[in-house]
Amino acid sequence: MTGARMTTLAQLRGSIERIETHSDTYAPDRVSLGHAEADAALQGGLARGTMHEVFAEGRHSAAATGFVAGLAHRVSAKRPLLWIRQDFSERECGALAMSGWRELGLDPRLLVTVRAPDVETALRTTADALACDALGSVVLETWGDSKQFDLVASRKLTLAARGSGVTCLLLRTASVPASSTAETRWIIRSAHSPPFRPWQSWGAPMLDVQLVRNRHGPNGQWIMEWKCDECVFRDTSAHPQPVAAAPANRSHQTSARAQRRAS
């Protein structure tokens, strides 16, 4: 029994060493997010078959969930998404609403959710799920800091993602970033969302997106809009806000006010 464990440990160490030795030459497939500056920083888009981390404060959990949902849709290529949630995270943030999923332009039929009682179970389930290459991506959502989320656990998830080509997305709410093997690390906050049309009470989903770790390019920070019809992220500066038109008789009113001041 001890010999078998030592053999397994040696194989794991060898795999980790190969990942770290060849990390600079590893060239994963990339998918565009739709945001020109972010895609340029990512050398063409988000890398598939790797691990990415998304962090958010508790009050920004909805924005981070939407961001991760958008990333998962972009990398999954119409394959199923498995979303693994720690029980405590669901109690704090609420359940994933399928009506909201549809409003984001996403297909709830491609979403499978799993609830895990604790972080250890969630990590083990995620590693097992990443071995299934029929999935497009796997999301692991947890709440708060945990000693189980160490560098060894991070390496295991990276190994599993690279072995199958399935993208792993970690959604960490109310947690502090630590050392990891993640390809990218993001910090997400909600951004002001003015109504898209005068008669609409809800505006377009807007996110304050900060890329704080990028293994193969620069970091950056952008305000992104999620385009629900196209299912892509866009730069808000490319879509200027409408400006109220001047009244047709403005020159007459201005002249009248000037005459009153003179008198």
Query: Is 261 domain-assigned?
Result: no
Query: Is 13 domain-assigned?
Result: no
Query: Is 256 domain-assigned?
Result: no
Helical axes 2-21 vs 151-164, angle rounded to 10°: 80
Residue 130 CA, chain-centre distance (Å), reads: 17
Per residue in 34-48, pLDDT tens? Answer: 999 999 999 999 999
Q: What is the mean pLDDT of residues 139-165?
A: 95
Per residue in 165-221, pLDDT tens? Answer: 999 999 999 999 999 999 999 999 999 876 655 555 566 789 999 999 999 999 999
> How many domains in the chain?
1
Q: What is the mean pLDDT of residues 84-101?
A: 91
**Range of 69's domain?**
27-236
Query: Is 4 domain-assigned?
Result: no
Query: Is 186 domain-assigned?
Result: yes
Query: Is 164 domain-assigned?
Result: yes
Spatial separation of the C-alpha atoms in residues 181 and 127, rounded to whole Å:
15
> Domain holding 76: CATH number?
3.40.50.300
Spatial separation of the C-alpha atoms in residues 17 and 49, rounded to whole Å:
18
Query: Is 2 domain-assigned?
Result: no
Query: Is 199 domain-assigned?
Result: yes
